[in-house]
Amino acid sequence: MEQKDVIIVDRQGITRIGMETLVGETKKASSVLFTESKSELVRLLSSHLEAVVILDYTLSDFISVDDLLNVGYRFSHVNWLLFSEELSYEFLRRLTSTSEAYSIVLKSSGLDEINIALAHVLRGERFICARVANQLLQAQKAPTDTVDHILTSTEKEILKEIAIGRTTKEIAANRNLSFHTIITHRKNIFRKLEVNNVHEATKYAMRAGLIDMAEYYI
């Protein structure tokens, strides 16, 4: 397998040294470089276009997930391993759903899992550690619990009909209810879910598992 240049971006000396040791043990790195700033990282990437970057995002000077993604887009042949403490769900969701270039392992992960992550990223493969994968999965399940707790059975059924594209008039006819009754249900559903329109309600219904893509035709 082709050896890779590795760039470690970490402001913690102990983890920087530890990661350098683990990278060296793989025998897959042609060089190991260090930096603590985004600007210096960009400079290094300009001359190492297919590098592997090991980044502690939490302590870095990247200002947002978009800031990180933009550097990734600029250097599209770079593979990234985020090696950080806790990362927020929204950050993880956005990063993992937007690009396949980013692998993630936590500093609290076990040594075996960190070594597996390194092996994957040095082969150009994506790796998401178990704790992050579970965090993403549990958050995806959460809307179902929310719907079950705050919507009545009738409201859930009407939300599903709204989400699959039926008009208020069609829903009223199907359920033998008045147009104004369905309008009231719809207002209550939007208020309880804290959404403002049909598109947002549909996305909520999909996340909650009330409909699947085969039913979605709006």
pLDDT tops 90 at residue 192: no
- Looking at the structure, do residues 121 and 180 belong to the same domain, yes or no? no
Q: Give strand pairing partners of 9.
A: 35, 55
- Looking at the structure, do residues 16 and 89 belong to the same domain, yes or no? yes
Residue 212 lies in a domain: no
For residue 142, the model assigns a pLDDT of 55
CATH number at residue 178: 1.10.10.10
Contacts 24+ apart (CB under 8 A), 43-50: 44/7, 45/7, 45/71, 45/74, 45/75, 45/78, 48/5, 48/7, 49/75, 49/77, 49/78, 50/4, 50/5, 50/77, 50/78
- Per-residue pLDDT tens for 72-92? 999 999 999 999 988 888 889
Q: Model-level pTM? A: 0.67
Q: What would the 3-class secondary structure string for 54-82 be?
A: EECCCCCCCCCHHHHHHHHHHCCCCEEEE
Name the phi and psi angles at 69, rounded to 5: -60, -35
For residue 218, the model assigns a pLDDT of 42
- Looking at the structure, do residues 44 and 96 belong to the same domain, yes or no? yes
Among the candidates 103, 136, 169, a domain finishes at 136
Number of structural domains the chain divides into: 2
For residue 151, the model assigns a pLDDT of 82
Residue 143 lies in a domain: no
- Looking at the structure, do residues 164 and 119 belong to the same domain, yes or no? no
Tally of CB atoms within 10 A around 75: 20
pLDDT tops 90 at residue 153: no
pLDDT tops 90 at residue 144: no
For residue 7, the model assigns a pLDDT of 98
Average pLDDT, the chain: 89
Residue 10 lies in a domain: yes
**Residue 32 · residue 6 · CB < 8 Å:** yes
Residue 214 lies in a domain: no
Structural domain including 102 reads 4-136
